[in-house]
């Protein structure tokens, strides 16, 4: 799996609802095909918030290996704890099965109080 940082202006133009001024964005490719884009926001020196750009998501790639690669990529950027969230039932159900990999349901972090989001986190 390849993670390539992209210019956030591309996200601003193509996926405005997912645009955040302070996010970094990555294109994820597997077997030379685009899997999706994801963003990551620094929440502190060691804590990040990662999110999929759902409208770019290729449903065929959802696997434990894919999710773990996303976390590994983020940890390689220097984060010690990573939060992610979803409103998408399929992804929520899938992430609920990943506890054995250290991915657990979490309460809303201090920076977000949207009750419609279900949060997950993983620590290094």
pTM: 0.86
Map out the domains of the chain as residue ranges: 2-123
124: Cβ contacts below 8 Å, ≥ 6 apart: 75, 79, 80, 81
Q: Cα angle vertex 51, ends 18, 106, to 5°?
A: 130
What is the number of other CB atoms lying within 10 angstroms of the CB of residue 70?
23
pLDDT for 8 equals: 95
At residue 92, does pLDDT exceed 70?
Answer: yes
Count CB atoms within 10 A of the CB of residue 30: 16
Instruction: Classify domain 2-123 at the CATH topology level.
Output: Aminopeptidase (3.40.630)
Instruction: Share the mean pLDDT of the chain.
Output: 88
Does residue 111 carry a pLDDT above 80? yes
């Amino acid at each position: 799996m390849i993670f390539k940082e992209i210019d956030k202006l591309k996200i601003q133009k193509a996926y405005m609802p997912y645009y955040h001024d302070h996010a970094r964005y990555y294109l994820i490719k597997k077997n030379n095909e685009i899997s999706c884009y994801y963003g990551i926001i620094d929440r502190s020196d060691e804590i990040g918030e990662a999110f999929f750009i759902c409208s770019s998501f290729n449903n065929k790639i959802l696997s434990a290996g894919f999710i773990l690669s996303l976390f590994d990529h983020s940890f390689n950027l220097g984060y010690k704890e990573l939060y992610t969230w979803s409103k998408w039932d399929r992804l929520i159900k899938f992430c609920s099965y990943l506890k054995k990999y250290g991915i657990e349901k979490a309460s809303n972090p201090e920076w977000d109080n949207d009750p419609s989001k279900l949060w997950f986190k993983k620590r290094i």
